[in-house]
A and B are shown apart, each in its own frame.
Chain A
């Protein structure tokens, strides 16, 4: 592990940039004059599950949004496999926070999943039986096949989150960026989502999730990125998720109880 850390932080950075599904260099984002994310470097390891953790207001969601160009960044460089966003878009799936949309919107579960096929369908191409079959297959993987015809407002929070994940699966991406996928979901949904994400990783895909539950970091993720407006630590869970790095990221706000089970 330490060997990996040493190479990652050392001479192979240029090489890493080309391999890394998402690399940030000096990313700075500001909201109304105040820096939300300041001069942040991050190098996501391919084929791994990475948790972005940090206290409330640390800029975790902002980091993802800035990487995807959803919020403008003041400075810095973002590359996906060494390439700019425009070139890499088709290989990226983004799952926004569940609360960011209006679930009263008049549409059905299957329609939402089909939105994940937009890059294939474009504006004019006809929706065919094979597209619908693929969307149903994605619903199957998150255990939501029976809900295809439901209006999205009739779903529980956990079911809504699964539908969002199914939409991302429909994108058949190489990099999955998820913003708080476990926020406000039931235990069964959490287990279903983590199983799907681990399957993706085992298939060689890269998963990055903004995460807030420190007690599950070790069981769910391979790597962590600790952020508190500035980068605090990055590496394998064993190396970077320690009492010291957490103290540095959370400061006095760290609840000791949240760390039960951590070395």
Chain B
């Protein structure tokens, strides 16, 4: 069991968990800033961005993907403003229209372009390819200390681990101004804090997490993890520090339980095939939020 688990299940479990936590972290701040929709937006805009980046560069390396996603995000912001100004349409509606349109354009682009050489297709965009991120060189737990085997770890794992570390360190380092500017922007400005830069910083961290996670686990998990774990966590406590801890716990729980249930649940239930891990992880995160809304200690009256 050990060798099979380490080679086949450990990498996707770790990748799913790290991706979920990397998205949940900035999601806490997006939620408190009433910008939860931005997380949704970013995860949609990433698709056309990376497809165009792939068409231009011919690779799916991280840097061009990030650049593509960033360009798409800029385009999205410009489109939203244009729709609001020219069409006199309310901001939320303008956002919704922009992101779904860009995402749909990304799907069309993907269908019409030759991406057969790389792992980039519509299904991948939605569900990711969590189950295929295996560690072929692993022979058992001992491989975790074997440099040769470690070198063959799925690159997605290294990437998402690095991004999670960057997001976590940035939030921890700028904790005080971040919390202050999120709670009371006017007061923060009166102290001379660069609140616009802080807001942009959080959106940038969210975009970084979205791009890295999108690659490994697809947009469904990204969208769910920006919102569900932080929203559930808010209902568990009245302290921001603890809310962050709860959101990480909920994200990890969703990823692990979702992956295991998707892989074994249908078999336990008598069906022959497993279901999408990404879909199950997102569903579990929704169920945790539903539970929190019904039973958590700090629900609002």
Residues of chain A having any CB pair with chain B under 8 Å: 65, 68-70, 86, 89, 92, 94, 96, 100-102, 104-108, 112, 115, 118-119, 121-123, 151, 153, 167
**Whole-angstrom distance between the Cβ of B181 and the nearest chain A Cβ:** 10
Residues of A within 8 A of B184 (CB): 96, 100-101, 115
**Whole-angstrom distance between the Cβ of B126 and the nearest chain A Cβ:** 33
Query: Is A68's CB under 8 angstroms from B190's CB?
Result: yes
Query: Is B192's CB under 8 angstroms from A106's CB?
Result: no
Q: B183 on the interface (CB 8 Å rule)? A: yes
Q: B187 on the interface (CB 8 Å rule)? A: yes
Q: A104-B300, A105-B183 are in contact. Are A70 and B243 (CB under 8 A)?
A: no
Interface residue stretch chosen among B101-109, B172-180, B259-267: B172-180
Residue of B nearest to A100 (CB): B186
Query: Is B189's CB under 8 angstroms from A70's CB?
Result: yes
Q: A115-B183, A123-B173 are in contact. Are A94 and B238 (CB under 8 A)?
A: no
Q: B234 on the interface (CB 8 Å rule)? A: yes
Interface of B is mostly: helix
| Residue among A100, A108, A123, A153 making CB contact with B176, cutoff 8 Å | A123
Q: B82 on the interface (CB 8 Å rule)? A: no
| Residue among B186, B189, B240, B300 making CB contact with A107, cutoff 8 Å | B240
- 30 A–B contacts from the bound complex (CB under 8 Å): A65-B186, A68-B189, A68-B190, A70-B186, A86-B192, A89-B192, A94-B186, A94-B187, A100-B186, A101-B184, A101-B186, A102-B32, A102-B34, A105-B182, A105-B240, A106-B238, A106-B240, A106-B242, A107-B183, A107-B239, A108-B239, A112-B183, A115-B180, A115-B183, A115-B187, A118-B191, A121-B176, A123-B176, A123-B177, A151-B238
Q: B139 on the interface (CB 8 Å rule)? A: no
Closest 4 CB pairs of A and B: A94-B190, A151-B238, A96-B186, A70-B189
Q: Give 8 A-B pairs besides A86-B192, A107-B238, A108-B238 with Cβ atoms closer than 8 angstroms.
A: A102-B34, A102-B183, A105-B240, A106-B237, A106-B238, A107-B179, A112-B183, A122-B176
| Cα distance A122–B234 in the bound complex, in angstroms | 27
Residues of A within 8 A of B180 (CB): 115, 118
Residues of B within 8 A of A89 (CB): 190-192
| Cα distance A200–B285 in the bound complex, in angstroms | 52
Residue of A nearest to B236 (CB): A106
**Whole-angstrom distance between the Cβ of B299 and the nearest chain A Cβ:** 12
| Cα distance A104–B191 in the bound complex, in angstroms | 23
Residues of B within 8 A of A100 (CB): 184, 186
| Cα distance A167–B101 in the bound complex, in angstroms | 46
Residues of B within 8 A of A115 (CB): 180, 183-184, 187
**Whole-angstrom distance between the Cβ of A134 and the nearest chain B Cβ:** 16
| Cα distance A47–B234 in the bound complex, in angstroms | 44
| Cα distance A170–B210 in the bound complex, in angstroms | 39
Residues of B within 8 A of A119 (CB): 191
Query: Is A69's CB under 8 angstroms from B189's CB?
Result: yes
**Whole-angstrom distance between the Cβ of B250 and the nearest chain A Cβ:** 15
| Cα distance A115–B182 in the bound complex, in angstroms | 12
| Cα distance A203–B183 in the bound complex, in angstroms | 31
From A104, A106, A112, A122, name the one whose CB has the most chain B CB atoms within 10 angstroms: A106
